[in-house]
Amino acid sequence: MSEDHLSRPSVQRVRDTLAAAGSKAQVVALPDSARTAQEAATALNAPVGAIVKSLVFLIDGRPVMALVAGDRRCDTAALPAALGLAGKVGRADADIVRKATGFAIGGVSPLAHPVPLPMVLDASLRRFDTVHAAAGHPHCVFATSVDELLALTGARESADIGIA
């Protein structure tokens, strides 16, 4: 079953992106769902805060992504400034998330999008040497460092977007 997950096109896009960037990060398939931060933490025996939530929002209709620690919420009031943008923030629905990222909710990876998204990373993720992000399927994740995640995604780092 896990090999089936790893062979999915969405997961392969993540694997290819990691390899093309020279990352040593490996996508792994989990026996249980990692659709939520808590599920991922349980499956990985990791702290919930070490799980990267890839959240898509709209700023004046433009999709953006916030990479937030699993034990935090995104401060949407701080999001535009953290991205160097201005405008009204709204949540993206499932169709917009899929169109903007190429992934379904529950498996949204912070990388391998069809078009790069403006992206900001919650600096509270630095509490962890290793963080875990979705890899294109609710059962697939990859482990990396915050520095590598910043390099892979081109995200800005902000201490303002993650609130407990």
Over residues 134-158, the pLDDT tens digits come to 999 999 999 999 999 999 999 999 9
Q: Is 87 exposed, middle or buried (0-12, 13-18, 19+ CB in 10 A)?
A: middle
pLDDT over threshold 90, residue 87 = yes
Going by pLDDT thresholds of 50, 70 and 90, the confidence category of residue 44 is very high
**What rounded mean pLDDT belongs to the chain?**
96
**pLDDT(57) > 60:** yes
Neighbours of 60 (CB within 10 A): 12
- How many Cα atoms sit within 13 Å of 147 on the Cβ side? 1
What percent of the chain stands above pLDDT 90? Answer: 93
For residues 50-75, average pLDDT:
98
- What pLDDT was estimated at residue 32? 87
How confident is the model at residue 2, as a pLDDT? 58
Q: Which whole number is the average pLDDT over 22-45? A: 95
Hey, how many other C-beta atoms are within 10 angstroms of the C-beta on 7? 11
Per-residue pLDDT at 1 exceeds 50: no
- CATH 1.20.120.140 describes domain 2-163: no
**Residue 5: which of 39, 38, 31 has the closest Cα?**
31
- pLDDT at position 111 is 98
35 pLDDT more than 80: yes
What is the mean pLDDT of the segment spanning 44-59? Answer: 98
* Tokens at 126, concatenated: 């630095």
Give domain limits for the chain. 2-163
**What is the average per-residue pLDDT within 38-51?**
97
Q: Strand, helix or coil at 134? A: strand
Question: Pick from 83, 82, 101, 81: which is nearest to 93 by CA?
Answer: 101
Quick one: pLDDT at residue 15? 97
pLDDT at 25 over 90: yes
